[in-house]
Amino acid sequence: MLLSIVVTQSSDSLFQLGNTYYENEQYETAARTYEQLENDYSHEYLYLNLGNSYYRMGELGNAVWSYEKAYSIAPRDQDIIYNLNFVRSQVRDRIIPPDNFFIFSLYTAFLDKTTILDISVLGGLLFLIISITYLMNSYLLIPEKLNSIINSTLIFTLVFLIWVSVDKYWKFTDINEAIVISTSVDVRSAPIQRGENVVFRVHEGTKAQITAVESGWYEIILLDGKKGWLSTQDMRKL
C-alpha cells in the first residue's frame, strides 16, 4: 500500500511538472515528461495533454495516437472527442470505409462508446433486477404471460451483456491497430525495400490494422481494404 501511494504521488508530481512545461510553451519537454509516465500511469488526461503537446510540436501522427489512447479510456469525454475529430480532419488520407449493415453499425457504436466499467455496472444492475424479479415471483402472483415476457427479456439482456463484455475485453486486450507517425510512407507489396514494389502511400495520422509482423515490418490493412507492408519505425501501435 505504501509503495502504491509513493508511486501515485510520484506520478502526480511528474504529471504536474509536464503541465507546467506545457503552460510555459515548452511543448517538447512537456511531451517527454508525459512519455515518462506513459508506461506506468494510464489515464485519459495524460494522453489528452500528451496529444496537445504533440499537436503544438507539429507531430500530427503522435497527436492522433495520443488522442486515440485517451478515447479508448474515456470514449464519452467531450474534450477528447473534439480534439480527436479535429486532428483526424487534418489527416491527409481520406479513407472511406465500406457501408455496414445498420444493426452492425449500431452495435459497433454502442461498443465504441462503452467501457468495461460501464458493462460491469450494467451487469450489476441486471443481476439486481433478476433478484427482485425472483423475489416477486416467490411472494406475488404474476400473470404467466407477463412473467414469460420479463424472463425472456432478462435472459436476452444477460446474454447480450456477456457477449458485449467478452467482445470489449478481447478488443481492449488484443489491439492490433497503429497510427502512421512519419510524414509520408510508401506501402510495399512485400517486406522488402525495393523501388518497384510500392503499391500505395499513406500519410501521417492514418490509422491501420496490423495483420502480420515480420522482422521490422508490419503488414497493414486500411479501412477501405488496401493492404501492404511498411516499416515498424513508421508506425506507433495503439
The predicted structure's pLDDT at residue 108: 78
Give the chain's mean pLDDT: 86
Please report whether residue 110 resides in a domain. yes
pLDDT of 7 over the 60 cut: no
78-88 helix and 44-56 helix, angle to the nearest 10 degrees: 30
Number of domains in the chain: 3
How much is the pLDDT for 9? 56
In a domain, 94, yes or no: no
Domain of 57 in residue numbering reads as 2-88
Shared-domain flag, residues 191 and 169:
no
**Residue 67 maps to which CATH number?**
1.25.40.10
Specify the pLDDT at position 5. Answer: 33
Sequence-ordered list of residues with C-beta below 8 angstroms from that of 14, at least 6 positions apart, any chain: 33, 36, 37
In the chain, the percentage of residues whose pLDDT exceeds 70 is 92
Contacts of 184 (CB under 8 A, 6+ apart): 201, 202, 203, 204
Same domain, 9 and 84: yes
On the question of pLDDT at 4 being above 50, the answer is no
- Same domain for 20 and 79, yes or no, is yes
CB–CB of 55/67 below 8 Å?
A: no
At which of 88, 114, 146 does a domain end? 88
Q: Is the dihedral of CA 61, 64, 69, 72 positive or negative?
A: negative
Q: Give the pLDDT confidence score for residue 2 in this predicted structure.
A: 35
Say if residue 119 is in the same domain as residue 151.
yes
Residue 172 clears pLDDT 80, i.e. is over it: no
112 belongs to a structural domain: yes
Residue 129 pLDDT class (50, 70, 90 cuts): confident
**Residues 16 and 73 both lie in one domain:** yes
46 inside domain: yes
Q: Determine whether 139 is exposed, middle or buried from the number of CB atoms within 10 Å of its CB (0-12, 13-18, 19+).
A: exposed
Question: Which CATH number fits the domain that encloses residue 202?
Answer: 2.30.30.40
Question: pLDDT by residue (tens digit) across 21-80?
Answer: 999 999 999 999 999 988 777 889 999 999 999 999 999 999 999 999 999 899 999 999
Query: What's the CA gap between 14 and 217, in Å, rounded?
Result: 34
> Of 30, 59, 88, which residue sits at a domain end?
88
Last residue of a domain, one of 173, 199, 217: 173
Q: Tens digits of per-residue pLDDT, 181-235?
A: 999 999 999 998 877 889 999 999 999 999 999 989 999 999 888 999 999 999 9
Whether 150 and 131 share a structural domain: yes
DSSP conformational letter for 99:
P
Which residues does residue 230 pair with via DSSP β-bridges, in sequence order?
Answer: 218
Q: Do 82 and 113 share a structural domain?
A: no
